[in-house]
Structure 1
Amino acid sequence: MSFEPEELGQSRSDLATALKDQRKRAGWTQIRLSKRCNMSQTKISNIESGKLTPAIVDVELILEALGAEGPLAIEILTLARSANTEWQDHWASRRRGLDKKQNELARLEAVSTEFRYFLLSMITGLLATPEYVRASIADVPGDQSKTIAKKLERQSVLFDPEKSFTFLLTEQAVRWPLLPPLAMAMQLDRLASVSRIPNVRLGVIPLTGHVPERPLNTFTLYDRRLATVETGTGALILRDHRDVTAYRQDFERYEQYAVFGDGCRELLSEWSEIFTRQRE
């Protein structure tokens, strides 16, 4: 399926209208449909009013209950997939203020318990030193002090024992020289320190051996319900369970090539020492 980012929001209202029209065409009430689908009448009402974006499985249940099939069912399922995909472009985020984005991430972290980060080319803010955070948004004009403060404040979530984190970083992400050598050495020491937090698993995928995979994007998984995929100009927010499952499977494959624990810390120490010698 292809889509235009600006049309994603419209697909939600189109989906609501299509499902409502399909129910009325079948001559069913919301109560009858809710009982057939084992959903509450309130949920059906919220779906049809556009207040709630239904999961793909919900739409499949509704269509099956109403006996919808053929091209119309395919069209409605296509709308459902678009409605479960959100595009956030970098320019819109910058206009709103990157500190607002940090608030959104903090809320998402508050309601999630299991996190998986695949970091292809950079170190994420939860693992970053203040210097690294500052350098990562250096190209954004204006005063970024609020954004930096909120990024650093969010790091406290790593110490919540009710949450678990797995970070996979490629060697390129770890060693990309975003900072001067000494500051990079300190950043790698920070990674080694975080790897000792009990509810954090931090692994690196070294550029040695054979890795028959070809990752294209940095991505993050929140529980089993949401995946964010970063591109050069923005991020896709995916809620379709098939998309989330696909990225979970990708993550599990990459995890097989990662080095964790003492082996990971030995690599980080070795790379940190290389940065330290560059300063001499």
Structure 2
Amino acid sequence: MTFEPERLGQSRSDLAEALRSLRKRAGKTQAWLARRCNMSQTKVSNMESGKLAPAIVDVELILAALGGDDPAASKIRELVRTANTEWQDHWSSRRRGLDKKQNELARIETVTTEFRFFLLSAITGLLATPEYVRASIADAPGDQSKTIAKKLERQGVLYDASKSFTFLLTEQAVRWPLLPPLAMAMQLDRLASVSRIPKVRLGVIPLVGHISEMPLNTFTVYDRRLATVETGTGALILRDHRDVNAYREDFERYESYAVFGDECRELLYEWSGIFTRQRE
């Protein structure tokens, strides 16, 4: 399915109208539908007004209750997927302030227990040294101090024993020289240190041997309810369970190519040594 960013905001109202029309054609009230689907009338009302984007399971319950015909059901299923997809472009995020984006991420992290990070080309803020964080937003306009402070503050979530993290980094992500050699060596030492935190699994996919597939994007999966996919100009926020499950499956495949534990740390220390010698 092809997503058009300009349509993503409209899809929720289109879905609301389609659900409302389907119920009215069936001659049923919101109260009847709520009882039939074992949900509150307020929830039905919010879905039909566009205040709430329904999950696919909600839509399937509604379709089963109302007996929607195939063309109507197909249209609604397509709309619910788009309604559960959000586009966040980098320019809007920067206009609002990158520190506000950090607040959004912190809220997601508060309610998530299982994290999966696939890092294709750079090191995520949760793993970064202050120098790496600063370099990663060096081109952002305005005062960057709040954003840097909040990125570093978010790293505390790694020590929450109620949560688990798996980070997969490609060799390119680890070794891309965003910083001068000595600072890069310190960043790799930081990765090795984080890999020893309980409930954190950190793996590296080395550029050796044969890897039969080619990843295209950095992405993160939060539990089974949300996936974010980074592009060059923004990020897709995916909530439809089909999309989330697809990225979980991608993650599992890439995970099979990674090395963890002592083998991972040996690589990190080897690459850190290369950066250190570059300074000499």
TM class, shorter-length: over 0.9
C-alpha distance in 1 between matches for 2:69 and 2:26: 13
2:194 corresponds to which residue?
A: 194
Secondary structure in structure 1 of the residue aligned to 2:28: coil
C-alpha distance in 2 between matches for 1:33 and 1:177: 58
**1:6 Cα deviation (Å)?**
2.0
1:147 corresponds to which residue?
A: 147
Supply the AA of the counterpart residue of 2:107. R
C-alpha distance in 1 between matches for 2:66 and 2:226: 28
Greater CA drift, 195-204 or 31-40: 31-40
Secondary structure in structure 2 of the residue aligned to 1:273: helix
1:229 corresponds to which residue?
A: 229
2:249 corresponds to which residue?
A: 249
Greater CA drift, 11-20 or 126-135: 11-20
1:118 corresponds to which residue?
A: 118
**1:31 Cα deviation (Å)?**
2.0
The 5 A counterparts of 1:1-280 are: 1-280=1-280
Secondary structure in structure 2 of the residue aligned to 1:243: helix
Supply the AA of the counterpart residue of 1:263. E
Supply the AA of the counterpart residue of 1:229. V
**1:155 Cα deviation (Å)?**
0.4
Supply the AA of the counterpart residue of 2:102. Q
C-alpha distance in 2 between matches for 1:173 and 1:243: 24
Long gaps (5+) in structure 1: none
How many pairs were matched up?
280
Secondary structure in structure 1 of the residue aligned to 2:141: coil
Q: Is the 8 A contact 2:94 2:141 kept in 1?
A: no
Query: Aligned-pair RMSD on alpha carbons?
Result: 1.0
C-alpha distance in 1 between matches for 2:251 and 2:79: 27
**1:210 Cα deviation (Å)?**
1.6
- Give me the TM-score of the superposition, normalised by structure 1: 0.98
Secondary structure in structure 1 of the residue aligned to 2:9: helix
**1:70 Cα deviation (Å)?**
2.4
C-alpha distance in 2 between matches for 1:141 and 1:18: 42
**1:265 Cα deviation (Å)?**
0.5
**1:73 Cα deviation (Å)?**
1.9
Runs of 4 or more, structure 1, over 3 Å off, are: none
Long gaps (5+) in structure 2: none
C-alpha distance in 2 between matches for 1:160 and 1:77: 38
Greater CA drift, 102-111 or 209-218: 209-218
